A and B are shown apart, each in its own frame.
Chain A
Amino acid sequence: MHVVVCIKQILDPEIPPREFQVDPQTKRAVRGRASLVISPFDLNALEVAVQLKERAGGRVTVVSLGGEETPEALRRALAMGADEAVWIRDGALEATDASGTARCLAAAIAKLDEPDLVLFGRQAGDWDQGLVGPMVAEALGWPLVTNVFQTRGENSPLELLQQAEGGYRVVAATLPAAATITNHEANVARLPKVREIMLANRKPITQWSLGDLGLAADEVAPRVVVEALAVPVPEGHCTFIEGETAQEKAQNLARALRELKVI
């Protein structure tokens, strides 16, 4: 079983909101002092992949497209149990969007050694679009199962456990297939073992440029133009609940909350 996990390195989503700023010119988040981390759902995807490898054997390849600090994310993935890492690195990718990313990833997956399953985080922790996974599946012409949290079985068809309203649905996926992964107690990312971290530091990372993937710069040019991007300013409104007695106040409060659909 060859599982590919596509990961994205993003700004640490846990920085204090106050420190989060947007550059009005480029319409991108300002790095500031924030660290770069693997997008949270991608960590869940990695965990699902490593669990599958531990159960069914095979290997895990992790692929990421990004700037100069991408190797850090790839090394962490290697430490968590991935066997190989591919870094798609090209200056022309600086401004790309979901469609360009998906093209690159699809080309890279096609170039890899017969993957059986490709996993993505449900959506990236920065833009929250959830586009890349479906777009890659489309480009590859593979079946896609969304919101998966666990796999069962060892061969094709693989059982994918998909989150559903109040429970889950088991989807038997004929491989090769793609899936987007959501978080669940069954796929909390493991803490890498120190020995694995040290080994990961020595593993080579394959680098592919657009040329290596057989793509031209205009094929990955952004197709979506961001018109505006701003940090929301939280606004507080204060409403006093009136009432003669405590009971009346409570009733009015309950009514107000119900009108706001809070309760």
Chain B
Amino acid sequence: MDPMATPTREVFWNIEHTWLVYVLLYPTAIAFVYGLGRRVEGWFMGKPQIRWDRPWLRLKLFLRDGLAQAQVLRERRAGLAHLAFSWGFLVLTLATVAVFLQHDLGIPILSGNFYLYFQSLVVDLFGFAAIIGVVYVLYQRYVVRPPRLTHGVFSDGVLLVGFLVALIQGYVVEGLRIVATQDPWGIWSPVGYATGQLLVALGVRELPLQLALHRFFWWTHLVTAFAGNAYLPYSKAMHLLVAPLSLFFRELEPAGRLRPMEIEGAERLGVKALSDFTWKDLLDLDACTECGRCQEVCPAHAVGKPLNPKTFILDLQRQMAGLAREEVTPAVRPALAPGVQVAAATLAEDAALEIVGHSIDPEVIWSCTTCNACVEVCPVEIEHVAKIIDLRRYQVMEEAAIDETPQQALQGLEDRAHPFRGTQASRADWYQDLPYVKTLAETGPVDYLYWVGCAVALNERTQRTARALARILHAAGIDFAVLGEEEVCTGDPARRMGNEYLFELLARQNIDTLQRSQVTRIITTCPHCYNTLKNEYGALGGLFQVVHHTELIEELLAQGRLPLKGPVDRSPITLHDPCYLGRYNGVYQAPRQLVDALGERVEMERSRARSFCCGAGGGRYFMDDRPGQRVNVERSRQALATGAPTVATACPFCTLMLEDGVRTAAREAGREAPEVKDLAELVAEALDEEALAAGWPPEEAGGRRA
């Protein structure tokens, strides 16, 4: 062959009866399109939702998390393996498209540099990376076998082994062609070239044998690849088509802003059947990669509660795919929406199937603490919590189906604007002997309203947090006041328990009070209040600047406005990140700076975005736990494992839950229970009262700011 010739290769070299390719292609394509169609049809059952605003931001995030797989890579090794074989798959698909362009459309693309650099070298190397990636994940699934990967053992195996077989067949074909044609550019496909050499070394020396084997592997490679494509929409590999969509159409609102809903005039409140979900919720179900990261981080799952975010999604997916039909139809007939023909086992029928009680157990949706760890960790942006709340909304508002204890909390919110039944405290108790705490009614407009929160004001233990914060604010000369008896619950527990109606009533009342009192800046001690005031009142017309007490104290410390005595006695300190402060609002740094100012900080194994819930969120504080299924005890064990004598929190619910939990955890471990304190308490204890009494900051330092 002429060494100066343009590099290329013959398509369909050594292959006869190429018409057979098309004969095989058509059923494959039909199976693929049919499967895909059934999935897409499912999404169209959903209700409308606008998810194409801010397209450039969406595109940017898609490129980051879809193509570059930044979220997949948060788990380093599995992420790299996935990156390798998914990119391998993509590049090999592109190579096939190139063949199609040349052979079927007559575009002469497979020659010259493109042939050498892309079609030979790049494709060859990506294919090899794919082999390594696939082997790694096979090893993970069938040798290491972590609990999160035990679902779909068989179907995963079919996909992965099929992919691996296709890759190996491809290299064998390529190697034999290089050997048989003595391809002068063969070395540009190094893995294929090496495969050819290996086959020769193994005895495949005769040309007729090479040609026969080449033909055999060429056809079997084709059949494997076609079968894979046909199987794709029926398997979890579907995520390679759907995950890009779920990434592009992701939720862009702050995590703490629960989707608003229409109450007056709504045909149905919340989600009863699949068709009540939005199309994005239904698309999410098919985007699931079954990676199990959500299962691994879910606190409810960790303590053995019936919720597993992964199976939650997959159970819904199964219902959507119609597979649940045979299993549930007899039980479910009365639950069908009126007008749906029972005899016609159609998609519409599945859509009408009531979800809770059929494909999802009620206990599953009530186990959720709304800690958002699953959503945070999901590499394809599935919105688990929003779906769970939507299901709760239907259960609570349309069915009034809720256990008696949380029902009493809701009743309390309605009757006395707080969820704490039987509290002996009133909202004004904690500051009765603090002359510097006044109500807005007494002071008139102030720089900051201190929003105390029911969980702080109405509990003797957490009142200490309020007293500590008031002391700190006074010491720093902050002009503040409280609402006193005028404050009512922000509505967070009602909203997270699914009673949107009650949430709105409370929210409107508060917004009215705040606006009437000309409040613009608010300090909160409770991250739940913080989140609701900051992220959720806006939709109802209440826009306020909201700061969490740890943020404000950190700022005051940085400005030198608070003299501290030095490290606290009970150091080191471990910090528990409250979900609604950290994951929901990204406040990780301020509490850490406070801990660092107070002593040595030791982190728990799960902290920051991976923090483990205390168990109180989502209204769980007002629900009963089965013995052995207490999230707070599990979190307390993690806190105890650090050996720190002090556990710092920044949320009254966390304080109450962990103070209770550390006793059990310490007893189990035969150790002394650490002290659980809010950061405000720890800072107030560390205040240098002498320096304050002498006038702080000293005059020469510029004096106290107004």
Chain A residues packing against B (C-beta within 8 Å):
12, 14-19, 33, 35, 37, 188, 190-195, 197-198
Contact = CB atoms under 8 A, between A and B. Distances in A.
Interface in B127-178: none
A133 B34 CA distance: 69
Interface string B470-505: 000000000000000100000000000001110000
Given A14-B416, A193-B400, A195-B398, 5 more contacts: A33-B426, A35-B417, A37-B415, A188-B404, A198-B264
Contact of B426 (A12, A16, A37): A16
B415 A35 contact: yes
Interface string B409-431: 01100011100011111100000
17 contacts: A12-B416, A14-B415, A16-B423, A19-B426, A35-B416, A191-B410, A193-B398, A193-B399, A193-B400, A194-B263, A194-B396, A194-B397, A194-B501, A195-B398, A198-B263, A198-B264, A198-B501
B389 to A, nearest CB: 15
A46 to B, nearest CB: 14
Contacts of B407: 191
B263 A33 contact: no
B678 to A, nearest CB: 23
Contact of B501 (A18, A19, A190, A197): A197
Contact of A194 (B269, B404, B417, B424): B269
A94 B566 CA distance: 64
Contacts of A193: 397-400
A15 B422 CA distance: 8
A193 B500 CA distance: 12
B666 interface: no
Contacts of A16: 423-426
Contacts of B500: 194
B402 interface: yes
Contacts of B404: 188
Contacts of A192: 400
B402 A191 contact: yes
Nearest to A197: B501
A191 B424 CA distance: 24
Best-surrounded residue of A19, A33, A35, A191 (most CB of chain B within 10 A): A191
A33 B485 contact: yes
B415 A190 contact: no
Interface of B: 263-264, 269, 396-400, 402, 404, 407, 410-411, 415-417, 421-426, 485, 499-501
A18 B425 CA distance: 9
Contacts, number: 50
Contacts of B423: 16
**Interface of A, helix, strand, loop or mixed by DSSP:** loop
A214 to B, nearest CB: 35
A38 to B, nearest CB: 9
A16 B460 CA distance: 13
Contacts of B417: 35
Nearest to A196: B400
Contacts of B269: 194-195
A16 B422 CA distance: 8
Given A16-B423, A198-B264, A191 B415 contact: no
B501 to A, nearest CB: 4
A14 B419 CA distance: 12
A242 B327 CA distance: 70
Given A14-B416, A33-B485, A35-B416, A195 B425 contact: no
A53 to B, nearest CB: 16
B491 to A, nearest CB: 14
A16 B423 CA distance: 7
A197 B397 CA distance: 10
Contacts of B410: 191
A17 B426 CA distance: 10
A193 B501 CA distance: 10
A35 B411 CA distance: 12
Nearest to B485: A33
A24 to B, nearest CB: 22
Contact of A14 (B396, B402, B422): B422
Contacts of A191: 396, 400, 402, 407, 410-411
Contacts of B426: 15-16, 18-19, 33
The 3 closest A-B pairs by CB, nearest first: A194-B397, A191-B400, A194-B501
A15 B416 CA distance: 9
Contacts of A19: 426
Contacts of A190: 400
A234 B425 CA distance: 17
B528 to A, nearest CB: 22
Contacts of B415: 12, 14, 35, 37
Nearest to B422: A14
A188 B400 CA distance: 13
Contacts of A194: 263, 269, 396-398, 499-501
A146 B422 CA distance: 29
Best-surrounded residue of B264, B269, B399, B400 (most CB of chain A within 10 A): B400
Nearest to B265: A198
A190 B403 CA distance: 10
Nearest to B264: A198
A160 B249 CA distance: 59
Best-surrounded residue of A16, A17, A35 (most CB of chain B within 10 A): A16
A33 B416 CA distance: 9
B397 A195 contact: yes
Given A37-B415, A195-B269, A17 B424 contact: yes
A104 B421 CA distance: 34
B89 to A, nearest CB: 49
Best-surrounded residue of A14, A192, A197 (most CB of chain B within 10 A): A14
B411 to A, nearest CB: 7
A188 B396 CA distance: 17
B356 to A, nearest CB: 15
Nearest to B393: A194
A207 B102 CA distance: 87
Nearest to A192: B400
A33 B424 CA distance: 14
Best-surrounded residue of B404, B416, B422 (most CB of chain A within 10 A): B416
Contacts of A37: 415
Contacts of B402: 191
Contacts of B411: 191
Nearest to B402: A191
A195 B269 CA distance: 8
Nearest to B458: A16
A188 B399 CA distance: 16
Contacts of A18: 424, 426
Contacts of B399: 193
